Amino acid sequence: MGQQGQHLGRAAGGTVTPTSSAALRRANLSLVLRHLRDHVSRSRADIAEATGLHRATVSNLVAELLDRQLVREVGVEHVGAVGRPRRPVALHGAHVGALGLEINVDYISVHGSDLSGRILVERRIGFDTMGSGPDRSLHRLGTVAREAIETMRSAGADPAGIGVAVPALVDVARGVVTFAPNLNWHNLPLAARLSATLGSPNVPVMVDNDANLAAVAEYTSGVAAGTPHLVYLTGEVGVGGGIIVDGRLLRGADGFSGEVGHLPVDPAGARCGCGRRGCWETKVGLAALVRTAMPQQAYTPAGLPVSDPEERAKEISRGLVEGDRHMMYAVAQVGRWLGLGGSIVVNLFNTRVIVVGGYFATLAEWLLPHAQEELERLVVAGAAAQCRFTASNLGFGAASRGAASMVVNQLIDDPTTIMDSIPRPPVH
Q: 224 or 316: whose CB is closer to its own copies?
A: 224
> CB neighbours of 397 closer than 8 A, spacing ≥ 6?
102, 109, 111, 122, 124, 217
Closer to its own copies by Cβ: residue 120 or 316: 120
Q: In angstroms, what is the minimal distance from the CB of 365 to its own copies?
A: 25
Question: Please, which residue, 345 or 419, has the CB nearer to its own copies?
Answer: 345
CB of 372 to its own copies, least distance (A): 16
Minimum CB–partner distance for residue 299 and its own copies (Å): 25
Beta-sheet pairing, 169-171 with 176-180: antiparallel
> Distance (Å, rounded) from C-alpha 61 to C-alpha 44?
10
CA 116 to each of CA 21, 45, 316, 412: distance values in angstroms, whole numbers, following the listed order: 27, 21, 40, 10
Alpha-carbon gap, residue 413 to 420, rounded angstroms? 14
Residue 370 makes CB contacts below 8 A (sequence gap 6+) with: 331, 332, 334, 335, 336, 338, 339
Side chain identity at residue 301, one-letter code: P
Q: Which residue lies nearer to its own copies by CB, 309 or 402? A: 402
CB of 149 to its own copies, least distance (A): 19
Burial string for 344-379 (b: 16+ CB within 10 Å, else e) reads bbbeebebbbbbbbbbbbbbbebbbebbbebbbebb
CA–CA distance, 50 with 392 (Å, rounded to integer): 33
> What is the closest distance, in whole angstroms, from the C-beta atom of residue 324 to its own copies in the complex?
26
Separation of first and last alpha carbons in the chain: 52
Residue closer to its own copies by CB (options 269, 425) is: 269
Distance, in Å, from the CA atom of 32 to the CA atom of 58, rounded to the nearest integer, reads 8
Minimum CB separation from its own copies for residue 125, in Å?
26
- Are 35 and 28 within 8 A, CB to CB? no
Q: How many CB atoms lie within 10 A of CB 328?
A: 14
CB of 124 to its own copies, least distance (A): 23
Residue nearer to its own copies on the CB measure, 82 or 383: 383
| For its own copies, the closer CB: 234 or 405 | 405
Q: Closest distance between its own copies and the C-beta of residue 378, in Å?
A: 6
Closer by beta carbon to its own copies, 13 or else 301? 13
Where is 331: in which H helix or E strand? helix 325-349
Q: Position 370: which residue type?
A: H
Q: Nearer to its own copies by C-beta: 238 or 305?
A: 238
**CB 302, min distance to its own copies, A:** 21
Instruction: Please state the closest distance from residue 199 (CB atom) to its own copies, in A.
Output: 20
C-alpha 346/C-alpha 375 separation (Å) is 8
Q: Which is nearer to its own copies, 153 or 277 (CB)?
A: 277
365: part of which helix (H) or strand (E)? helix 364-378
46/44 Cα distance (integer angstroms): 5
